[in-house]
């Protein structure tokens, strides 16, 4: 499968706060920012907020395998985990 294959695309539900955090990150696109956050993320993944947009995202093979393994381990979907990682990117909540 090529990277442009629509079967490999995840639609990640993002909250307004997570979108703002990804927009503030350096990079060319929201998807690039989320990919970088997912690669660097370690630790627990919080539950995502109320989604306002679904971001289409394709991951490199190793990262996708890691996210899918974590999803199987936690009983959550890969999309839910990525949305939680995006929530964690915005920092602690008040």
Q: Using an 8 Å Cβ cutoff, are 47 and 84 in contact?
A: yes
Q: Which pLDDT does position 80 carry in this prediction? A: 95
Task: Give, for all 94 residues of the chain, the pLDDT tens digit.
Answer: 455 677 789 999 999 999 998 888 877 899 999 999 999 988 888 888 889 999 999 999 999 999 999 999 999 999 999 999 998 877 655 4
The number of domains in the chain is: 1
Name the residue among 92, 74, 73, 91 with its Cα closest to residue 37. Answer: 91
Does 65 fall in a domain?
Answer: yes
Does 19 fall in a domain?
Answer: yes
Q: Using an 8 Å Cβ cutoff, are 65 and 21 in contact?
A: no
Domain range for 64: 8-89
Full-model pTM: 0.85
């Amino acid at each position: 499968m090529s990277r442009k294959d629509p079967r490999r695309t995840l639609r990640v539900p993002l909250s307004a706060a997570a979108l703002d955090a990804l927009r503030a990150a350096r990079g060319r696109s929201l998807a690039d920012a989320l990919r970088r956050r997912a690669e660097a993320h370690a630790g627990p993944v919080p539950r995502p907020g109320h989604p306002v947009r679904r971001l289409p995202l394709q991951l490199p093979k190793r990262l996708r395998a890691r996210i899918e393994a974590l999803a199987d381990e936690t009983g959550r979907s890969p999309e839910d985990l990525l949305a939680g990682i995006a929530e964690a990117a915005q920092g602690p909540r008040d």
